[in-house]
Structure 1
């Protein structure tokens, strides 16, 4: 089973964090929040986006980037950034890796990216598009990591209740 992690560096918009939390709950992924946050975790907007799943999300908060590093010294981190030289599908995600995303207004600071140039991955976009929505980006990269790890622990098949596939 994959034990993936999503790291949000100083997220600013509660609805994005709530949506990501819901995705984490649905995939068994741990959520790591690096402060300062642009909102309170008890805000209605985060709970609305995370729906009734938010209370069950495995969330860890950190005072800052250094605190995160100290508490996760062996974290294998992949950083989603428009400055990445590799496409997010060109790396091999380990089952316990950390997928990091920056704040909505500015991404992951360049001083951090410069420390991890080989860990920077990019989602392709047309022309000069600045970025995708944070929760969309997190879902895209997370599901690629899950796919590479055979969706370990996730339900792979659904079933229609009223109709049969054979009808």
Structure 2
């Protein structure tokens, strides 16, 4: 299996290594006064629709001097170079806007999630605080009851405890 893979890689390397992608201006000029497909079949060539001329297109010089950009066809015969620049710019702009919208949506969702987490954390803290307050109140009532019981025992010991009528310390004045 490994031998076949190495053989395949070797064949592909030899095949693609034999293809020459370096076109010269003379090679492109020979294809002038022919159709667009013939001119663009040679890598690196561009076709001018008005003069039906084929020339070497320099990628580093985006705006070709030999032909107006609105008449230059490069890479494909479907549209002019100007058309492709506009199409790619519009698609790129739409993709950029879509990415920004997606980022905004994700950020808003994350913000909502963090707000919910914060609200849950605050609710837990409030529950803990309420529980502690209830425990303090219950402990205070127990201490108060214990103090009253001890005070009543001391009053009873010294005979100063009043008997409560109707379960209260207050009596009705007549």
TM category, shorter: under 0.3
Pick 1 or 2: higher relative contact order, CA cutoff 8 A, min separation 6.
1
Structure-2-length-normalised TM-score? 0.22
- The structure whose residues are more often strand, as a share, is 1
Task: Give the number of the structure whose alpha-carbon radius of gyration is greater.
Answer: 2
- The structure whose residues are more often helix, as a share, is 2
Structure-1-length-normalised TM-score? 0.23
